[in-house]
Structure formats: structure tokens, C-alpha cells
Amino acid sequence: MFVCIPLGGTGQRFKECGYTGIKPLIPVNGKPILYYLLSTLSYADLIYIPYNKDLPDFEKTVRLDFPDLNFIFFPVTNTRGAAETVYLALSHYKAPFDSPILCLDGDSWYNNFDIYTDWNGKDKLYFIESNNPAYSYLQTDETGEINGRITDIVEKRVISDKACTGAYGFSSWKTLLKHAKNVVENANNLSTGEPFLSLVVKEMIPTTTFVAAKAHGFTNMGTPKDIINFYNIQIAFDLDGTLVDTEEAYFNTWKEMHPEITLDWYNKNIKGKSDKQVPLDSSKKDIIFKNHLHLVKEIPGSKTFIRECLDNNITCTVVTNSNRSTAESLTFLPIVSSEDCPRQKPWPDPYLKAKLTDKLTIAFEDTPTGIQSARAAGFDVVIGLTTSCTDKVLCNHGADFCIQNFNIDIHTIMRKIEDIKSATKYIEKECQRILRQPVTIEKQLLKGGYIANVQRVKTDKGTYILKRESENSHNFSKMSRQLLLYDREYYFYSTIAKHLTIKTPGYIGTIYNPNGEKKGILLEYLGDNFTFSQMPTGTSMIDDQEISNLELLIKRVAEMHRTDISQFDLMRPCEFNWHTFCETRWSKFEEKWKNIIDTSIGRKILANYKNIENILSQPPFSLVHGDVKIPNIAMHTSGEPYFLDWQYIIKGKGIQDIAFLLVESFELEQFDDILYLYRKMVEIPACLKKPYAGSLSLSQCGLAPSKIKTS
């Protein structure tokens, strides 16, 4: 038995939609169309592929990607249809004996269905229930001796609910060759104008008993529209500045309510903000705004783009910081407005409320706050509109790529997304190399967006965690590389973790890109026996009932700080010029917060920062985690803490971890008790006490004297 996949066409419909690659290898969700089918044919004895000779490097590419499959490739010139392609291929097939053949459309996929084994060499055709005239249709006899015997097949005309999936099974390839020859030789007289394989079956029905079998998990990717449907897309659009230009209308609205404001003041204090964030009365804004609707302009192409999306069964939603009544006056799409969430952008709440599960989620945004919101909500793709900011600004805040307007079609958008995916295609192969078995990488991020992305990797034998570098070239990822955050974590898991007494996720392996650069790690999956705190920073995260867990947590941190680090190659804090780093960013920080907090304290610390840095950079040192906080600690049901996220490890002072833990995870009134607990458990040798026990006082920082216990 063998399989024949006729690929004689040139993919003209795809070319007309702007696809430049050859159709069988056009990527869909990071995987070429043909590969969906080939991945289900591992049991096939032979796969015979007659293909258009104008497909460059096709045979070489497929053989490299499927080294374990047994192929025969046969180049053909442009053929008029599948029957002619099969006829030419079988005419040159040199097998001396007859055997069954299963002809399959190369743009079909049978998910979790072993069609080769199910076929088992019989005269059998597969169908799904449909009324789409794009298919050929089967008429069957359900009353005769052979249930499901095919009595007729008609191309592109609905005569039943049994639509043929393009899977044609024949018990004899030589018989198929004979009848295919008849159809091809009479092709000029065909009413269909194309020699379909269904016409070969039609000719054979009087002398051959074909049966119809229901196909399972079938997906068709034969046309560009089929591809868009396969993605199962949800698009969430921001409104102001993304779909419509409302700035002139809004400025006139605010100016009517508050004549004293200027355009410059409006741009700095109102533009892009919700009413709650604006320090002016906005009670009449929505009513007055409707008087200025004539000033609202469409972002070029937005209406056409939305219609195209809806025509392709794409779910469309608007996510806006505007009030609902205002948004409803501007769009007919479903809306998530400022009234629907307690927190607006840049918080993830609006996009989390809009997000649908099991969809490829795409967000269009024109501001950094909107991009941050969509990215934090875990949207798969975030696209920037350069109507308000430059593409550099938007990409620095997490946009995958940017467009100027919507004078673009959905196919172009999806090709750009596929280009991004192709850049990380190696990750799946690396996971398979490390685990030595097929893997599925879950689309949904467990964590990520700016510095690293965290996803589950599943195999037949278990679940693992993939932590990989962010592909976006924004400021966060650039800073991460500058600070060696990725390299630190790779070094920790591959070299340091095995020497520690504290618990961390088990290290499985390191992910390398094709250039041999480290790009991620595979780790043990901490599953049902663990809890992860998601409480917001600044609250009391461990209550009185969990005091024993707290004591154990501090004990484990102290154990980490007693680790012999002489064998490890870690950066000392003084090797990065932190005081310069802080000085260059201070003016922006102060400008942002000067009306909210007393920045004079910060100026005092900054003035003495270099001295502080020098003191903390003197030995002896401990192994410092650098980011100890409750969200980075997984608690086992036994109460044992597992420490996560090791990007910030350094040689430093252990008290740095405790200070960070206090500020990030506990209330001020708890500080003394936790500090006392740590000092008690760390068991500092007398010769090392000075660096831990107040050698750097708060008064040295220009602040009030310390109230921390010293006993």
C-alpha cells in the first residue's frame, strides 16, 4: 500500500492574495500546509509525490524535514487537474506488482485520525457533512447489502450532505491508472473543464464497489480564505487613534467645557487617558462630544479591513478607554469600555475581559499604554498603528510590528505574523532534541511579554516548562541583554542549581538558535502540588496561619546566602555602573512622580549612591537571588518553597534579597519581625557580621536612623 499526494498546481489563488512562497510550503501557524498531512502519515509504506517542477528546492526541503518517511518525488509540468497529475505519476511508477493506493489532497489535514490505517487498502472515499458547493458530493445507498456503497459522485454540486474530503482510496493502482488515462484523454470534452479525481471514481462506479467513510478531524486549507478560517482569529481593536481619528473632536469637546486649556496641555494631560485619569470635570463630555462627531475621521482603510475580517469569520471586538456611550456612537462592533473594568489600560483588565480562549488573539493599538495592556493580557500578537507614535516607540513597548493604517489586507497581516513565527521555528525542534520525543508547545503564555515568555511543553510522557527570550527588539529586551539577565539564568540552572540545598525547578536543557546562541531553557513543570501567588504587590501575602511557611521561607533564603560561591563565576554588582544608570534616568523619574511623592528623598539617595555602591561591593559576598518576592516562589503542599526566576543572580550582600522581599511582598509593620527572623537564621560567622549587621545605615543614605532590631 502507498500514498499519492498530487501537487501539480502552482497555487494561483494564493499568488493573487500576495503569497510569494510555493503553496505546499506556505506556513500556517508556523507549519507548512503540506506538513500537516505528512505528520499524520508515519505508518505509510511509501509516499509518492508528483509535484510541479517549478517549485524550487521542494524535494530537498521536504526530505530534510521528514527524514524518516519513505518518499518518491516525480516532477511534472503544469497539469490541468489532479487526475492528470496522478496519471503522469503512475505512468512512470516502476513497481512490478499491483498494490492499493490512497490519493490525498495535499492541503487537507486529519487531526488525530490515522486515515492510512483506517483505509486499509480498500476502495473507499472519505466525507464530512457539509453543504458547501466547493466540494464534490457522494450519493450512497444505505438500503442495499453493502451499507454506504457509493452510487454517484458529482463535482461542486450538492446532491447530499456527504462532501468528499479529497481522500480517494483504490484497491489497485493499476486499475486507477487505466481509468485516469481515459479521463485525461477525454479532458477536452469535460463539462467541468478540469480532470478531477472524482471523475475517475465516477467512471469506475459501475464496475467497482466504493464505500463512503466519515472522516474525523478534517481541515481543508485549499484556499486563502480556508487558511484564515483555520487560524481561528480574534481581533481586538483600540478605538481612538486606531480605527478612528477623534483628536480634533475630543480637543474641541474639552475646549468647550474648559476654555482655558491649550492643545499642548491637552496632549500632555488628557490625550489617551480615561476620564478617571484626567484632573478636570468630565461629566458633560459624552453629551458635548456627540456635537463634534462631524470632526471624527476614519483611519484610512479601517472600515474595509473590518468588513474583510467579518467576511472571513474573524471575531472582532473594540477595547477602549472611552466611555461606552461615546464608543457606541463610533462603532457597531462589540465593545469593552472604561465602565466595564475597574482598571483601564495600561492594566491588562480590558483585554482580559475581551479575550476569548482557543483563539489566535491579535490586538491593534496606537499607544504604548494600549500595547502594554494587550501584551500583559497575553495576546498572541500586538500590532502598532503609527498614527500617534513612531514605530520605534511602539515596538519598544512591546509591539510585534507596526503598520501606518489599514490599507492592508488580512492575508498580508497573517504573512507578517508567520514571518515572526518562522524566526522561532527552531524552538520546537530544540525541545524535541532535548526531550527526544514529539512535543506540543502551548500557545497560551503562562507568563511573559517583555523580558521572557513562559509556556508549557507537552509530550506523551509529561509536561515541561519552556522559558525563552522575548523576540521583540524593544527597550526591555535590549536592557535585559545589556544586564546579562538571560545569561545569568542560563548559567544558574546549568551550573549552580545542582549545588544548592534549596529547591528550584529541575533543569532539563538549554535551547540554542541555529547560530548556536542560547535562547531559552527547558525546566521541570511544577504542577498540581504547587501554589503560585498572584496577589498584587504591596499587600500582606502571608497571613498568621502561614507563619510556619514564612519561617521556612526565610530559613531557605538564609541557606542560599550561606552557599560557598567561590566556585561560581558571577558578576559582582560593582562591575555594572549602576549609579550612572540611575543618574541618567533620574530626571524622567522625577518628572513623572514629583506631583505624587516627595522626590527629595530620592535625590539624597542618588547623591550618595556611588558611596553606597562601593560599600556594598566590598567582600565577603553571598549568592544573591536578586528578585525574591512571593510571585517568584512556588509553595509545595508540604510547605517547601521552590525559588523561580534567577535572571538577577549576583555576588552581593544577602540582605539585598530580604530587603527586596519586604518591599515587594509585605506590609511595613511586618518588616522588623522578618528581619529579626532572617538575622537569627542566617548564622553569620563573627568575622562576617559587619557586612550584614548595619555597616550601611539609613543615615548614610541621608535618611532617618534605622529602627531595625539588632538583637
Tens digits of residue pLDDT in 348-386: 999 999 998 889 999 999 999 999 999 889 898 999 999
Q: Which of 262-271, 463-472, 600-609, 694-703 has the lowest mean pLDDT?
A: 694-703
d(CA 672, CA 379): 41
> Is pLDDT of 616 > 90?
no
Q: How confident is the model at residue 523 (pLDDT cuts 50, 70, 90)?
A: very high
- What is the longest distance spanned by two Cα atoms in the chain? 102
Residue 191 is predicted with a pLDDT of 64
Using alpha carbons, select from 69, 3, 54 the residue that is nearest to residue 24: 54
> Is pLDDT of 3 > 90?
yes
Q: How confident is the model at residue 579 (pLDDT cuts 50, 70, 90)?
A: confident
**Where does 538-701 sit in CATH, by number?**
3.90.1200.10
Q: Which of 289-293, 307-311, 312-316, 478-482 has the lowest mean pLDDT?
A: 478-482
Residue 570 is predicted with a pLDDT of 67
**Which DSSP symbol is given to 122?**
S
Tens digits of residue pLDDT in 581-593: 888 889 888 888 8
d(CA 469, CA 454): 9
- The domain ranges of the chain are 2-223, 232-421, 438-525, 538-701
Residue 192 is predicted with a pLDDT of 62
Structure-block grid coordinates of residue 123: 476502495
Cα–Cα distances in Å, from 116 out to 38, 47, 70, 104, 167? 11, 11, 14, 10, 10
Q: Which range has highest mean pLDDT (17-21, 306-310, 320-324, 367-371)? A: 306-310
> What is 232-421's CATH topology?
Rossmann fold (3.40.50)
> Is pLDDT of 398 > 90?
no
Mean pLDDT calculated for residue range 39-67: 91
| Identity at 15, one-letter amino acid code | K
d(CA 202, CA 189): 15
Cα–Cα distances in Å, from 480 out to 329, 360, 470, 651? 43, 28, 10, 18
Contact predicate 28/231, CB 8 Å: yes
Residue 450 is predicted with a pLDDT of 60
Q: How confident is the model at residue 594 (pLDDT cuts 50, 70, 90)?
A: confident
Mean pLDDT calculated for residue range 1-27: 89
> What is 438-525's CATH topology?
Phosphorylase Kinase; domain 1 (3.30.200)
Residue 709 is predicted with a pLDDT of 33
d(CA 114, CA 41): 7
Tens digits of residue pLDDT in 219-257: 999 999 999 999 999 999 999 999 999 989 989 988 889
Contact predicate 469/452, CB 8 Å: yes
Angle at 659 between CA 482 and CA 505, to 5 degrees: 65
Q: Where are the beta strands (DSSP E) in 484-566?
A: 507-512, 518-524, 530-532
Q: Which of 122-136, 360-374, 469-483, 515-529 has the lowest mean pLDDT?
A: 469-483
Q: Does domain 2-223 have CATH number 3.90.550.10?
A: yes
Tens digits of residue pLDDT in 47-56: 999 998 887 7
Q: What 3-state DSSP class applies to 220? A: strand
d(CA 369, CA 397): 8
Angle at 223 between CA 219 and CA 227, to 5 degrees: 55
Residues linked to residue 140 through DSSP beta bridges, in sequence order: 150
d(CA 560, CA 564): 9
Residue 687 is predicted with a pLDDT of 42
Count of residues making up the chain:
711
Backbone angles phi, psi at 204, to 5 degrees: -85, -20
Residue 544 is predicted with a pLDDT of 52
Q: How confident is the model at residue 67 (pLDDT cuts 50, 70, 90)?
A: very high
> Is pLDDT of 116 > 60?
yes
Mean pLDDT calculated for residue range 629-641: 89
Q: What 3-state DSSP class applies to 339? A: helix
> Is pLDDT of 313 > 60?
yes
Using alpha carbons, select from 629, 707, 635 the residue that is nearest to residue 671: 707
Cα–Cα distances in Å, from 48 out to 100, 390, 454? 13, 51, 40
Tens digits of residue pLDDT in 194-215: 889 999 999 999 999 999 999 9
Q: How confident is the model at residue 580 (pLDDT cuts 50, 70, 90)?
A: confident
The 633-636 sheet, strands edge to edge: 530-532, 633-636, 641-643
Residue 449 is predicted with a pLDDT of 56
Mean pLDDT calculated for residue range 484-499: 91
d(CA 228, CA 210): 34
> Is pLDDT of 1 > 90?
yes
> Is pLDDT of 540 > 90?
no
Q: Cell 457597531: give the residue.
A: 332
Q: How confident is the model at residue 466 (pLDDT cuts 50, 70, 90)?
A: very high
Residue 596 is predicted with a pLDDT of 81
Q: What is the mean pLDDT of the chain?
A: 86
Q: Which of 89-103, 331-345, 611-625 has the lowest mean pLDDT?
A: 611-625
User: Which alpha helices (H) appear in 468-536, and where do they start and end?
Assistant: 475-482, 485-491
Using alpha carbons, select from 562, 479, 466 the residue that is nearest to residue 523: 466
Contact predicate 270/317, CB 8 Å: no
Q: Cell 538583637: give the residue.
A: 711
- Report strand pairing: 136-141 vs 149-155: antiparallel
Residue 180 is predicted with a pLDDT of 94
**Which DSSP symbol is given to 626?**
S
Cα–Cα distances in Å, from 15 out to 10, 26, 29, 601? 9, 11, 19, 63
